[in-house]
């Protein structure tokens, strides 16, 4: 793996979203395990310990996969590229270099990305060939965490709010506005709970979208342009993103799973069928 050295956000919007992500993840970890869970289980009882271990496992995977996304250099920088045009290669005028198929220039990162899918504001970097696996696992674990938390948060807030009154309903509908008038722990807890619920819906939709791309062997640009020439079949498509040990990548980003492509040479549907 080639590591990125310039990881700081390059735009204000990237910086704001990245700071929010880095802030909310540890805050939610603390909130769920040290505020919500103790209301249901005694500290360090068997059930509390179970949820503590599960929550910590999820937190570690969110944090480590996030770090792997940010640190993995999936650009053409440092790659050996030919000086003569190859089939399906194109010239990038900004990078002043020939770039391989499925590579596109990112105006924010200011470099061409190998098998570029999109620029992610949450990580302030592009998602491409070498970090797509980590991005998918990051989104997966954020979605799991939000679903896990929302179930307990709903029960937790039910015991702390009287939802029969108009004021209580107003607090639920406009939690951020109500923080100005009711800066209490309960209102902060409600705000966090609703934020997690919204993030859960967003990441669930995002996960479904990107899993569909993986199964079809495509990326966002190719999907929008109806390009399907790199669709090698569901299993090979999954392996091309998650690696040869695709069934183990959920355990940790440190689990080795070699990718079949270097991000430069790509097999097409017709060439695989011919074999």
Output the pLDDT for position 274. Answer: 47
Complete DSSP assignment for 122-186: TTTEEE-TTTHHHHHHHHHHHHHHHHHHHHHHHHHHHTT--TTSHHHHHHHHSHHHHHHH--SHH
Q: Please write down the long-range contacts of 18-26, taking CB distance under 8 Å and 24 or more positions apart.
A: 18/121, 18/122, 18/123, 18/124, 21/66, 21/122, 21/123, 24/195, 25/59, 25/62, 25/63, 25/66, 26/59
Output the pLDDT for position 129. Answer: 97
Task: Give the distance from CA 87 to its chain's centroid.
Answer: 33
Cα 89 from Cα 101, distance rounded (Å): 5
Cα 212 from Cα 209, distance rounded (Å): 5
Output the pLDDT for position 179. Answer: 65
Question: Which DSSP helix (H) or strand (E) runs through 7?
Answer: none
Domain borders along the chain are 12-271
Low-confidence ranges of the chain (pLDDT < 70): 162-182, 271-275
Output the pLDDT for position 15. Answer: 97
Cα 156 from Cα 189, distance rounded (Å): 9
Token pair listed for 240: 């091309």
* Closest C-alpha to 157, from 169, 140, 144: 169
* Closest C-alpha to 8, from 63, 70, 66: 70
Output the pLDDT for position 43. Answer: 95
DSSP β-bridge partners for residue 75: 113
Output the pLDDT for position 256. Answer: 97
Neighbours of 18 (CB within 10 A): 21
pTM over 0.75: yes
Output the pLDDT for position 177. Answer: 62
Neighbours of 78 (CB within 10 A): 8
Which residues carry out catalysis?
A: 120
Output the pLDDT for position 174. Answer: 65
């Amino acid at each position: 793996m080639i590591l990125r050295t310039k990881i700081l956000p390059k735009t204000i919007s990237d910086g704001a979203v990245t700071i929010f992500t880095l802030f909310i993840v540890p805050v939610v970890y603390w909130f769920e395990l040290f505020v919500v869970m103790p209301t249901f289980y005694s500290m360090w009882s068997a059930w509390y310990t179970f949820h503590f271990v599960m929550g910590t496992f999820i937190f570690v995977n969110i944090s480590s996969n996030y770090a792997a996304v940010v640190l993995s250099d999936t650009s053409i920088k440092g790659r050996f590229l030919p000086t003569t045009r190859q089939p399906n290669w194109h010239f990038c005028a900004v990078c002043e270099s020939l770039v391989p198929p499925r590579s596109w220039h990112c105006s924010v990162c200011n470099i061409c990305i190998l098998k570029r899918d999109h620029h992610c504001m949450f990580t302030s970097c592009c998602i491409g060939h070498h970090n797509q696996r980590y991005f998918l696992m990051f989104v997966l674990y954020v979605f799991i965490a939000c679903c896990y938390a929302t179930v307990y948060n709903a029960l937790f807030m039910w015991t702390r709010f009287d939802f029969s009154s108009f004021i209580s309903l107003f607090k639920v509908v406009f939690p951020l506005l109500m923080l100005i008038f009711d800066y209490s722990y309960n209102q902060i807890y409600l705000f966090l709970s609703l934020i997690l619920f919204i993030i859960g819906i967003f990441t669930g939709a995002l996960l479904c979208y990107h899993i569909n791309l993986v199964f079809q062997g495509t990326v966002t640009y190719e999907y929008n342009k109806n390009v399907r020439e790199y669709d090698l079949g569901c299993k090979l498509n999954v392996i091309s993103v998650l690696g040869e040990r695709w069934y183990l990548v959920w355990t940790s980003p440190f689990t080795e799973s070699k990718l079949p492509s270097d991000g430069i040479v790509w097999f097409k549907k017709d060439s695989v069928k011919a074999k």
